[in-house]
Structure formats: structure tokens, C-alpha cells
Structure 1
């Protein structure tokens, strides 16, 4: 691509964004679930208006939408670029970003917690980034590259297209959304308001990735109501819900845990347990790439609960399942043009396209199931959801380059 993306601008944007704490919160009933997400969304709203975009709209539920006008006279499908502004809930998100120029292969020690370090031995992806400029946090927070790398890449690509109107492309729609990390990312998006024919999430890892297969996902909640009694006179009266919760957790098959599965194998994962003698509550997530596999995991959980119910009929067991998202492959394999166009854009950026089955989900899972085909593109993030999270500036720049090419490919391939 000539000229190349402005890496200094890309870096400046990313460093601004990661210093805002945008953790989501699944205990909140609001959308967005946390005020920090509003802070980043309003900053992006200001920046989009400063770039001169039209139709910049921040909805009441925290979806920031904008339009990049077409430069081509062709009737080209409208394509959306999407990234989520929230970060994971497990660590603070107000990063103190550190830029490690021209990485030379030596261990990177994170100063606020020297026990946290990056080494090529533990993180083989670093070997592909020798000579790159790497960005990390300081050791006690998330960096927020998931998905502020995606946010920065989109913003930089938009700026590049606006500065180079000679690049032909159709109308583009932007969507920055909240709460992806708590599986609510596109729950309240109005697809008619988004107004796109296809989309891409910028929420992937290594250069060249174009992902069109995700887990299918369910959540489960088990509530156990015991029988309360004074412990001094509890014999043959008390039914201890906390003990029953422990028996339930112990009965979950170890071979179906995330710790023992990889590749295309799904899992049953207890994520939270609150237990008292009178009542206990266990939250789980179930994952599989195929719907029959997901149904089988529901059956495993149901069988364990049924056995506990039979063993202790005085207790009450309430088990509920909730659909979270479905494998986007079921829809995308019916029309692979968004994937094929992305592969061509990746090749034009000098990379080899590659696709993997994501052991997780993206906002594209929801959008695709609702009729907007939305595969997932790389933006360079690594070791996400940990204090060792890092990203290469050069890899983010390749993602910008890919988006710019992608806009042109859609224009060229449209009738």
C-alpha cells in the first residue's frame, strides 16, 4: 500500500484508549454496564467528528455509529467495521502502557510486578516480532489490547481513507460497542440503524487471521435451596446447600474442563460459586463447536443435578440454561464472500491468510446469526485477559493496511 499507514498516529490513539478503564460488569443491569465505557465512547465520538465523518451517532445504549462516505460510483454493498470498547472483568483496565522499541528477544520484565514477564520460551509468538515495537501494560492491569487494538486500527484506517480519497471504496459503517466481554456486545444494536450488508469485527490475534468459526455457547445457573436449622439441633433436619454445591462441582467430569481440552473439544466450566448453608448458586458456561455437542453437555449437567435431587429430595434444585451465542460458521459457510474478500485483502497486505476455530466468541457470532455476516479479523493482540497482554505496533499497522485493501476489494468485486 502506498503510502503506508501512519504508525505514529496509530500508536498515539492506542495509548490514549488503553489508559481509560473500560471494564464491563456482568452484575450491572445498564448498557453499557460501566461508566468508563461511556468515557471512551464519548472520546471516540469527538475524534470521529474531528475527522469529518458524517452521521456520527452515540445511541442511548452506547453504540457509536458513523459513516465513511463512498469514493466509488459503483453500487457497492455497505460494509461495517466493528470493535468493542470494554475490557475483561478479571483485572483493572486503567493501563500504564509501556512501549518497548525494536524488541531484541530478551525477556521483558513488567516493572509494577516483576514476576510478570514475557519470554520467547513461554510466548513463541514473540519470535515473530523481533525488531517490532511492542506495547505492554506495567504488570498489574490489563493492557486492554482486547479490543482497543481493534478500535485503534479502525480509527487509523478511517483516517487513512479520508486522507486518500483516490482509494476507491464503497460506503462504510463504523460501530464501536459496549459489553462484549460479558456476552452482551450486540444485544441492543439496531441492525436497521447500523445499515450494513456485511461486517467485520476487529477482535483477532495473529497477522493474517480471518476467523469464521466460533464456539456455540450456553450459560447455566444452578440454585440449590437447602433446609435451614440451628446447627446445635440440626441432626436429621438441616440440608446444607453449600455441601450440595460442593458435591455438584466435584461431580463435573474433569475431562470436560477448559484445563483439559483444546482444539475442537468443548467444555463445561464453573465460573462462580456463592454458597451458604441455606442456599447456594453456581454459574457455569458450556461451550462446543457443534450444537449436538452443546446439547450433550447440557445433558451431563442435567444428569448430575438429577442424581443429587434423587439423593437429597428435601433440597430444591433449580437449573436453568440460557443461549449466549452460536457458531457463526453455520451461516457464513452458506456465503463465503466476506471471508474470501478478507483473504484477498490479507494477501494484498503481504500476509498469508489463515483461519482457525476460535475457542470463544465474537460480536460477529450474534450479528451473523441475526442476518449480518460478520467474520473476525486480526488486530495483533496476544495473552489477552492477563497482565502479560501485549501487541505489536507493526502488526496493528498490518491490520490497518488490510482494512484499507478490504474496502477496495469489496468495491472491485461488486457487480
Structure 2
């Protein structure tokens, strides 16, 4: 456990936020710096076929220690952190033996409160790693990286635990939807894989949102306000009208489970032109199609209503629900469930209200469900993870490798 936590605390201090405005891969240099560090660690650990390509994709393999044929399986995590909150100068703290109440984050006024985050009420007695209230933590997904490498170290140190070939993959730019763009499935070599990129202990996910983005542009005219009468068309006012046409009860803060949503992610406001970026999410392809149609209908309706100015939209599909690619291989899920049960973890099969590299990889021929890391509140300054949850993730990875070998034993 000490090695696991030491790895995690070391990794989170690397600044690896991805940058959606940069088309290069990886989109930030920090990801490449971390990848080089991880490459050196995996070589020192004695893993085979350790490679880091020009695009920042890092792969390695733990060779089989059995004589019979076992399908190669993979474990995947991403190196970048989300651009939603700062990932620079991350300064984590460990709260030992948490007994309830607010947790002060650093020396400022920010707190982690069980009133706002009731999950804390189930974690009394746990050791909790938090931020200092100024950055995200980076458990998404450096916890996954630390857990995978630690699991490989356990298997290396205990050759009595039998396993087949285990393929390791660390990807860049997952948080900006590009993690699978340049992933070489054939080179990776696994027949199926698991992303270690989930949340609380027990999560096992093999379905996710269908996802699209809508880029709405409101076109106006800018004129000096002193002479603007009957000339100026304020695009921000048009954007406000458009947003009010959207169903406010179908937003992330009003939905859960299998409910989809529209989410206004960002806007670039100005008088002459205002851009709105929406993400559209639904678990059913037909329902997502209806969301895209509603956006288009609202654009057309507003254009008909406007005396001046106009609105345009571009809709781009992002990823699809991996369920259809994973369900034909039920043993992949059953092996993961059994590994959790064997480790005294109750499997919680639930949909991902988001996406992972696994969604894209599943459609690239690598079925790839998602397994928990033990973390909470990703993408913000209230992110935290438990030491116990991370250890349980390591145990499940090791047991999954062992059970796969047993399943295919002659």
C-alpha cells in the first residue's frame, strides 16, 4: 500500500491537463513528461515491450507465466487531467481515519462537506486523499495508473499467482475526447481490456452515453453604442433567447441514471458574434437523434422570430454507447464481477454518465468495460479518493488476471 500511495502522490504532481485548443497529440507537453517517467518505471519494474510513441501513447506487457494458452487481456488508464480546474502545483493532503464532519482543504476557506457530498458519510474510518482547495487532485486518472502499475508489481513479486499476457496502455488526451484517436489496437495485443477509470469502489460499467456536440453561433452587428439606434444587433441577446428555448429540466443538474441531457458547456460572448457550445447526451441512439433535432428546430424557430441577426448550428458526433460492442462477450463482464466478489467488493453495475477511452476502443475492436478507481468528485477542487479504495482496485486487477488464467486452464 505504501508503494501505491507513493506512486499516486508522485504522479499527481505532474501537470498534465489536456488542452482542447491544441490539435497536437498529446495536446500538452506535461503529458509527455509523465509518460517518459512512467516508461522508465515500467522498464525498471521488468515489464516487456515498453514503448512510447511520438503521440504520447505508452504501452507495455507483463508476459504470461503459464504454459497453456490464455487470451491476453489489457488494463488502460489516461495520463491527462481535465481542463475544468487547474492541475498545476497539485498539493494533496491525507486525512487519516476520517471520523465525519467537514474536511478543511489546505489553509483556505474551502471545505469538503458531507452535507454537499453525502458519500463521505460512508467513509468513516477511511484514509482520504484530498486537494488543498486550489486545484483538482488528478485521481482521474492518475489513480488508475498507480493502481495498474502497483498490480503489475504485485504479480511480478508473486510468481505463484498465475496469469496470461497482460497488456498495459496509458493514453493522452482522454479528457478532451481524443484518447483513442491514435491508439494502435493491433500493437496493444489484447483480446479485451478494462479501463481503470471509474469512481467509487464497486463500479463496473459497460454502457455509456451516446454523445454529440452542438456549436451554435449567434450572428449580430457591432456599432458604437452612441450611434447604435436601429443598427446594432447584439448577438449576446440572441444567445440569451436561444438558451431560454432549451428545456431547463433536461440539464446535468436535473438528471440522473439513464436520463439524458443538454449541457451548455461554454460560450464566447461578443456583440457581433456569440458562440455557444452544448454537449448532448443520451443512452439511446434514437433519443440522442431527437435531441439533435430539437437543437436544429430551435435554431430555425429563432431565425423565423428574429427581425435582425441570425443563428447557425453545427452538430458533431463524439462517441457511441459501447454496450452493443461489449454485450456479445458476456465473459468479460462476468470475470470482472467474480474478481470483485473474490475481493469482498460488491459489484455495482451502472451506466457511465459520460465516456471513456473504452467506449471508442470497443468500436475499434477492443471490448473495454470500465472498473472503479475509488475516487469521487472528479474534475474539480473537491475531488478526493480513499487509500482503501485504491488498494481494493489493485486487488481486483490482480484477481482479474488470476481468474482469467484459471478460466482458461486446461
Do they superpose with TM above 0.5?
Answer: yes
Task: Give yes or no for contact 2:102–2:111 (8 Å, CA) kept in 1.
Answer: no
Q: What does 1:38-77 correspond to in 2, within 5 Å?
A: 38-77=32-71
* Map of 1:33 onto structure 2: 27
TM-fit CA distance, 1:339: 0.7
TM-fit CA distance, 1:335: 1.8
The answer to whether 1:297 aligns with 2:253 is no
Return the match for 2:257 from 252, 256, 263.
Answer: 263
The answer to whether 1:173 aligns with 2:167 is yes
* Map of 1:346 onto structure 2: 340
* Map of 1:111 onto structure 2: 106
Q: What does 1:65-214 correspond to in 2, within 5 Å?
A: 65-93=59-87, 94-119=89-114, 121-214=115-208
Task: Give yes or no for contact 2:185–2:365 (8 Å, CA) kept in 1.
Answer: no
TM-fit CA distance, 1:316: 4.5
In the alignment, the residues of structure 2 paired with residue 125 and residue 317 of structure 1 have an alpha-carbon distance, to the nearest angstrom, of: 43
Matched residue of 1:272: which SS? strand
In the alignment, the residues of structure 2 paired with residue 275 and residue 197 of structure 1 have an alpha-carbon distance, to the nearest angstrom, of: 47
Number of positions where the alignment pairs a residue of Structure 1 with one of Structure 2: 408
In the alignment, the residues of structure 1 paired with residue 283 and residue 208 of structure 2 have an alpha-carbon distance, to the nearest angstrom, of: 7
Q: Which moved more, 1:196-205 or 1:99-108?
A: 99-108
RMSD between superposed Cα atoms in Å: 1.6
Return the match for 1:224 from 218, 223, 228.
Answer: 218
TM norm structure 2: 0.95
Task: Give yes or no for contact 1:18–1:144 (8 Å, CA) kept in 2.
Answer: yes
TM-fit CA distance, 1:340: 0.7
Instruction: Provide closer, same or farther for how the CA distance between residues 141 and 344 of structure 1 changes in structure 2, counting only shifts above 3 A.
Output: same
TM-fit CA distance, 1:230: 4.6
In the alignment, the residues of structure 1 paired with residue 62 and residue 213 of structure 2 have an alpha-carbon distance, to the nearest angstrom, of: 37
Task: Give yes or no for contact 1:227–1:314 (8 Å, CA) kept in 2.
Answer: no
Matched residue of 1:255: which SS? coil
Q: Which moved more, 1:395-404 or 1:84-93?
A: 84-93
Instruction: Provide closer, same or farther for how the CA distance between residues 313 and 101 of structure 1 changes in structure 2, counting only shifts above 3 A.
Output: same
TM norm structure 1: 0.94
In the alignment, the residues of structure 1 paired with residue 253 and residue 343 of structure 2 have an alpha-carbon distance, to the nearest angstrom, of: 36
Question: What do residues 2-28 of structure 1 show as CA deviations (whole Å, max 9, x unaligned)?
Answer: xxxxx0100100010111111111111
* Map of 2:305 onto structure 1: 311
Q: Which moved more, 1:195-204 or 1:101-110?
A: 101-110
Task: Give yes or no for contact 2:199–2:373 (8 Å, CA) kept in 1.
Answer: yes
In the alignment, the residues of structure 1 paired with residue 108 and residue 66 of structure 2 have an alpha-carbon distance, to the nearest angstrom, of: 51
* Map of 1:378 onto structure 2: 372
* Map of 1:4 onto structure 2: none
Unaligned runs of 5+ in 1: 1-6
* Map of 1:366 onto structure 2: 360
Question: What do residues 100-141 of structure 1 show as CA deviations (whole Å, max 9, x unaligned)?
Answer: 22222243211232232233x433322333222211111111
In the alignment, the residues of structure 2 paired with residue 204 and residue 270 of structure 1 have an alpha-carbon distance, to the nearest angstrom, of: 24
